[in-house]
Amino acid sequence: MSITPTEVMKIAHLARMSIHPDDVERYAQDLSGILDLVAHMNQIDVQGVEPMAHPLDMSQRLRADLVTEPNQRELLQRHAPAVENGLFLVPKVIE
Amino acid sequence: MQWETVIGLEIHAQLATKSKIFSGSSTAFGAEPNTQANVVDLGMPGSLPVLNAEAVRLAVTFGLAINAVVNRRSIFARKNYFYPDLPKGYQISQMDLPIVARGEVHVEMDDGTHKTVGLTRAHLEEDAGKSLHEDFHNMTGIDLNRAGTPLLEIVSDPDMRSAKEAVAYAKTIHSLVRYLGMCDGNMQEGSFRVDANVSVRPKGQAEFGTRAEVKNVNSFRFLERAINFEVERQIDVLEGGGTVVQETRLYDPDRDETRSMRSKEEAHDYRYFPDPDLLPVVLGEAFIESVRAGLPELPQQKKQRFVEHYALSAYDANLLTAERELADYFENALKVAGCEPKLAANWVMGEVSAALNKAGLDIAHSPVTANMLGGLLARIADNTLSGKLAKEVFEAMWAGEGDADAIIEKKGLKQITDEGAIAAIVDAALAQFPEQVAEFRSGKDKVFGFLVGQVMKAAKGKANPAQLNAVLKQRLES
């Protein structure tokens, strides 16, 4: 198994996902299965093949540098649980 | 033990675009909180980023200016971490294929020696918002106006060996991005941010020591002090038998020390992957050549031209070209005055700079414009004004009393150059000191200095000193 239960817990924490301890073993197996497939594909010689960054064979379109967005603070902050003086309020972050 | 310091810098330069890197929100500084943050900047589901062409152009400008590799194909990636001022939970940045790859930056040190610093890469990314930790009922306030502001992160190789070298390199980049018009360079407002990766190793050892990243440095002076503090701290740790921990440390200018920022310990696992919302950026040769054609004269080229064309010393040329605005001011004043370049250089670096410093102004806001200074210099060059009178006129111009000619006219400051008028002043002065004149004529040379002083006094500084001297000599010796 290429992914250990400890790694599953770490990845879940980094992604801020809450998972039930009973499920950890199963996730470890599932994820290992995926990585085993990747390991299998890694055996293919891809010398000279450019890595694919995007499934669409197109390049990025650019927009002109223009300010097009009006102030919509009131509308956008309607969804926020707490605001004050125009700021979004979140639980205290201590540095 | 002899220790060697190793420093690499990461510089975040805010690109001078009107709108954000991936949205049409304004990037203007100082707006009311969250009035310049739209659905894209807030990471609302269903919104998609669209890349700003100007941010791309400015990044390419930088790459071309330092002869770095400009990647014809670059990729945006997601850098994942959680922090409330990063609404999407990831920062759009570049990892494997940055827009600017390897290059070299040539740095001139204060003592005139040169140093080459390798450029690892320079990549485009979006800025985060701002967290305000003042007391909001034990909550943190979030302003997302800055979220999505375009940044060019300029990463150097660990090539610097002292705080002084690091500062000289940072100043070189600062000057360059301002010359290129790609960043306003304002360190106080955070549009030019310098983070230093600092480590030490026993002299002669090939491997690097463990590094700490020093952040929160908002001036070049603090950069030097923060690095020096950090170097001493690491040497103390190592000499005390301890080990340096790889971590982020914040510089505290009030205490002049760096402190560990523990909360980010775990955050270094960013799990980068290509951003599926953005396609590869492909740059055509025609576009790159058009950017190259638009490059302005760069600081080092300008400096060399000042030395060769104006016969200025390397020191003078260095000072005058540190900022593009100052160099332009000098050249404009010189053009108006048509005087010796050295005279214009002395005035720009002397009176003008001193007055600006005293008033806390930058050259763009000087009350004495380049044209006005040029007008003054012309009157020095044609002997209308002595150096002393010129300073008086300069002060009056600074105070808003008009241009040089108007002030000379109004105050009657015109230097006397008429032979007859000067002779009259000399004769009148000498008539008051017949004894001293007799003494001089009988061979007491010492009294000459006294007579010069008296004649100067009588002329009230208005007579051309060279002519005055000549007439005095002639009168005494006849």
Q: By mean pLDDT, which of B144-148, B155-159, B359-363, B429-433 is the weakest?
A: B429-433
Chain A residue set in contact with B, beta carbons under 8 Å: 10, 13-16, 51, 53-54, 56, 58-69, 71-73, 76-77, 82, 84-95
| Res. B309: pLDDT tops 70 | yes
Chain A with chain B: Cβ pairs closer than 8 A: 135
Task: Give the whole-angstrom CA distance, residue A73 versus residue B418.
Answer: 73
pLDDT in tens, B272-308: 999 999 999 999 999 999 999 999 999 889 999 999 9
Residue type, B271: R
In a domain, residue A11? The reply is yes
User: Chain B 243-282, CB below 8 Å of chain A: which residues?
Assistant: 250, 261, 263, 266, 269, 271, 274, 276, 278-282
- HSE-up of A33 (CA within 13 Å, CB side)? 6
Residue A14: pLDDT band (50, 70, 90) is confident
Contact B80 A71 (CB under 8 A): no
Does B144 reach chain A within 8 Å, measured CB to CB?
yes
Q: Looking at this predicted complex, what is its ipTM?
A: 0.90
Question: Given CA atoms B302, B305, B306, B312 in this order, what sign does their dihedral have?
Answer: positive
Provide mean pLDDT across the span B211-239: 95
**Largest Cα span, chain B:** 103
Domain count, chain B: 3
What is the residue-averaged pLDDT of chain B? 92
CB atoms within 10 A of CB B420: 8
Q: Based on the structure, what is the number of domains in chain A?
A: 1
**Tens of pLDDT, residues B314-325:** 889 989 998 889
The pair of structure tokens assigned to A78 is: 């309607």
Q: Which two tokens stand for residue A54?
A: 């995007």
Q: Does A21 fall in a domain? A: yes
Of B36, B42, B276, the CB nearest to A54: B276
Give the CA angle between residues B148, B118, B194 to the nearest 5°: 40
Using the 3D structure, point to which of B385, B411, B437 is the last residue of a domain: B411
Residue pLDDT, tens place only, B400-431? 999 998 888 888 777 777 888 888 888 888 88
**CATH number of the domain bearing residue A21:** 1.10.20
Q: Do A62 and B144 touch (CB under 8 A)?
A: no
Residue A59 lies in a domain: no
pLDDT at B51: 98
The CA radius of gyration of chain A, in Å to the nearest whole number, is: 22
Sign of the torsion angle spanned by Cα atoms B70, B76, B77, B79? positive
Structural domain boundaries, residue B401: 297-411
Distance in angstroms (rounded) separating the CA atoms of residues B454 and B457:
5
Domain assignment present for residue A27? The answer is yes
Confidence of residue B473 (pLDDT cuts 50, 70, 90): confident
The pLDDT tens digits for B192-205 are 999 999 999 999 99
For residues B315 and B449, state if they share a domain: no
Domain final residue pick, B228, B260, B288: B288
- Residue B233 has a pLDDT of 96
Where in the sequence is the domain holding A24, given as residue range(s)?
5-41
Question: Does residue B325 share a domain with residue B208?
Answer: no
Are residues B18 and B159 located together in one domain of the fold? Answer: yes
Residue ending a domain, among B392, B411, B430, is: B411
Task: Return d(Cα B195, Cα B105) in angstroms, integer.
Answer: 17
What CA–CA distance (Å, rounded) separates B20 from B170? 25
Q: Is the pLDDT reported for residue B268 higher than 70?
A: no
